[in-house]
Chains A and B, each alone.
Chain A
């Protein structure tokens, strides 16, 4: 009987030591964070204390360390899903959004009609630009077909409806397939976004389309990769999916930064929820957000935020070196930010808006301003009612 209690006493002692080790480790690894957390705690706002503690905890190195351990356990168990099927890890190492349900949207024709209606208030043509998501079966063969969200069907159906209502489209799956670039060059393993190279290909596809279908005669010089400086941040990026599931499970990505090797000068003003900002200078100084690129803060976590901050409520970029260039309005999601940056040499002005910004009357803005082209860009996931409020 003594032995029965002895083993329990040893186990209990170990447990108590582990509990004691937590505050010691926190103080050793995260002392500034702990002090900030203590200072931030306001007893008069006691209802928020649990949430505040949780927020501060998730900023600590101990939290990240434990998350790394979790990732290693998942690896050992050869788990292909995590987060209750929200993330599926394929044999190719890529993380995909998981779903047992086939995507379905009965309102796609209505969205197409709303674009048709918008076209009537525009001087220039509307082109719907359709980038594929990384789960596109046109680009990659996936083993667990049923469990990974499939977005091709939505994309196909919506492009079909747009063709029916006579709105021009650009299906980037064709370009990506023909680009000669590997799937690994076009998408990140740890993020749902496409890569900088994929964004650059998209800009090239748009220029090609404008030349081919609208006789623009745009110079392909600015969409030739040879005229750009390529900086590769090897294994320095963990995207949004990787951040959620932990880098030890998801791995790391390379991040490629492309900046023009030719001379540039831009003025960029943008409106966020809280402020209105202005920046000017070369491509690198005006359009690149150094904060999202800074490795001093750890790994790159927001690849889309590097160019033009990713998403603002309103952006207007002016190219004083090309006053006769195209004037474009783009109603878009985050994915278009790097594409817009690469299109700038051809343009005098690009305005980026989101239809999710309910205070902005897009139809009125189009009527008031003479744009050469209206681009509407949404990835399949974002083809929802909220994106088509015009």
Chain B
């Protein structure tokens, strides 16, 4: 089920909230209710994978118990077996198609069969959560694995399908009392509405442009001319879309969690304001990058923290894995390599001086990231090449045409709004209002803010009802 769907907003969400708070007299009943809610949330969109979902839940509960109860040596074996089972299932389903496809391309110069539809929704995030749960059991970060608690954590619907990746202990830490907390609830609701508006009114609108431009590019310049400006506009729309998609999803997920009394860490923090590529990825998909650092990089480097060669190799491999985790396509491999190159260069201190030069460092970061998005957003490497040629006019394409003006005319407003709010203007304004809460503007804000939130919600619902919502860009299989 999508957060940005009417069935979630008007049916599932009110029922889940009501049930959660009506059962506040009994922790056990509430847990059962939330496990059921999480299961319905999952199978609403993926009824065919119900059994796989239940199988994975059972596997991870049993492994969690075994890892904790067995002696350390055998516990490690149990952990390795569990990780291998979780990861290999993910690998087999996701990458079999890519491997056969590549072999067929080499041998017969034609693609093989597509297995992407075999991948259960949310499997990529579920696998990471399951691995971190078992590792945390092994590292004794989880006190004692209980059946209900394990299922509660793994089926917690706000984070079930696309993150943020919150560890078992962090989720426990973030919980307030069992009872209704009006402050968290109201902040959660407004956060959810802002996320919904970001998704429907900005991300999905910009997605229309970027999908169109990437699609036209894929047909080749011999068949369709994409002007230089259209290519740039499409690329900037893609860059903003990808940010707003993940930011909106995080807002909604964190907002729902707040409504249920859970406060968790932020997942996105205005990455386009970063001065280095490393900083960008510390502010974008924070929980995902942190997961790879905590559970992959740490294991690879081990105790040899001073070994530069090992650090470089680990960094390179981690980015390769991050790239591949995003999808079974060579474009993601190249994207991972592209990013790892700059992360490594930044690690070996070449960029220290650059970082001090505000505008130049931002320009450098945006250039690297934006070029990376061309590779990330293309269906094939040849398409990425075609896109680069369109951007630079190497396809003998015109600077602009009717198509460019039409795209800008129709989506210029969404683009401008997206561009302005992808920098930390809103939190700065909020802070100013908090500091100056006796000013007329702050008093006026008391009335304007709720009206603005309701209006955003109203317009988002009108759009959602009429044209639906696109799946989240990270909602991949």
Q: Which of B164-189 contact A (CB under 8 A)?
A: 182-183, 185-189
- Verify A19–B14 contact, CB threshold 8 A: yes
Q: Mark A14-29, 1 if CB is under 8 A from B, else 0.
A: 1110110011000000
Complex formed: what's the CA distance from A64 to B465 in Å?
Answer: 9
- Verify B410–A9 contact, CB threshold 8 A: no
Main secondary structure of the interface of A (DSSP, over half): helix
- Verify B465–A144 contact, CB threshold 8 A: no
- Verify B219–A101 contact, CB threshold 8 A: yes
- Verify A66–B211 contact, CB threshold 8 A: no
Contact of A15 among B48, B219, B453 (CB under 8 A): B453
Chain B: CB-nearest residue to A15: B189
Complex formed: what's the CA distance from A14 to B186 in Å?
Answer: 10
Complex formed: what's the CA distance from A56 to B409 in Å?
Answer: 36
B448 to chain A, nearest CB (A): 9
A73 interfacial by beta-carbon distance below 8 Å = yes
B402 interfacial by beta-carbon distance below 8 Å = yes
Complex formed: what's the CA distance from A346 to B10 in Å?
Answer: 58
- Verify A8–B187 contact, CB threshold 8 A: yes
Residues of B within 8 A of A70 (CB): 462-463, 465-467
Chain A: CB-nearest residue to B224: A101
B25 interfacial by beta-carbon distance below 8 Å = no
- Verify B446–A146 contact, CB threshold 8 A: no
Chain A: CB-nearest residue to B414: A77
Residues of A within 8 A of B463 (CB): 70, 73
Given A1-B434, A47-B47, A66-B466, A57:B6 Cβ within 8 A = yes
Complex formed: what's the CA distance from A53 to B6 in Å?
Answer: 11
A69 interfacial by beta-carbon distance below 8 Å = yes
Complex formed: what's the CA distance from A85 to B442 in Å?
Answer: 41
Complex formed: what's the CA distance from A357 to B401 in Å?
Answer: 43
Count contacts on A: residues with CB < 8 A to the other chain: 50
Count contacts on B: residues with CB < 8 A to the other chain: 53
- Verify A80–B453 contact, CB threshold 8 A: no
Chain B: CB-nearest residue to A64: B465
- Verify A144–B212 contact, CB threshold 8 A: no
Chain B: CB-nearest residue to A81: B410
Residues of B within 8 A of A83 (CB): 467
Given A11-B193, A69-B462, A5:B183 Cβ within 8 A = yes
Complex formed: what's the CA distance from A57 to B5 in Å?
Answer: 13
A230 interfacial by beta-carbon distance below 8 Å = no
B450 interfacial by beta-carbon distance below 8 Å = yes
- Verify B211–A11 contact, CB threshold 8 A: no
Contact of A63 among B45, B188, B406, B465 (CB under 8 A): B465
Chain B: CB-nearest residue to A14: B454
Chain B: CB-nearest residue to A101: B224
Chain A: CB-nearest residue to B430: A4
Given A4-B434, A12-B189, A69-B462, A53:B7 Cβ within 8 A = yes
Given A3-B442, A11-B449, A101-B219, A79:B410 Cβ within 8 A = yes
Residues of B within 8 A of A66 (CB): 461-462, 465-466
Residues of A within 8 A of B212 (CB): 84-85, 100
Residues of A within 8 A of B219 (CB): 101
Q: Mark A56-70, 1 if CB is under 8 A from B, else 0.
A: 010000010011011
B457 interfacial by beta-carbon distance below 8 Å = yes
B45 to chain A, nearest CB (A): 8
- Verify A11–B406 contact, CB threshold 8 A: no
Q: Which of B354-412 contact A (CB under 8 A)?
A: 401-403, 406, 409-410
Residues of B within 8 A of A23 (CB): 10
A344 to chain B, nearest CB (A): 41
Complex formed: what's the CA distance from A84 to B457 in Å?
Answer: 21
Residues of B within 8 A of A251 (CB): none
- Verify A147–B462 contact, CB threshold 8 A: no
B208 interfacial by beta-carbon distance below 8 Å = yes
Chain A: CB-nearest residue to B193: A15
Between A and B, 17 residue pairs with Cβ closer than 8 Å are: A3-B437, A7-B445, A7-B446, A8-B187, A9-B182, A9-B183, A15-B190, A15-B454, A19-B10, A19-B14, A50-B7, A57-B6, A70-B465, A81-B406, A100-B216, A104-B223, A245-B466
Q: Apart from A3-B437, A70-B463, list 10 A-B contacts with CB within 8 A.
A: A8-B186, A11-B193, A11-B449, A12-B186, A70-B467, A73-B462, A73-B463, A84-B467, A100-B216, A147-B406
Chain B residues packing against A (C-beta within 8 Å): 6-7, 9-11, 13-14, 44-45, 47-48, 182-183, 185-190, 193, 208, 211-212, 216, 219, 223-224, 401-403, 406, 409-410, 413, 433-434, 437, 442, 445-446, 449-450, 453-454, 457-459, 461-463, 465-467
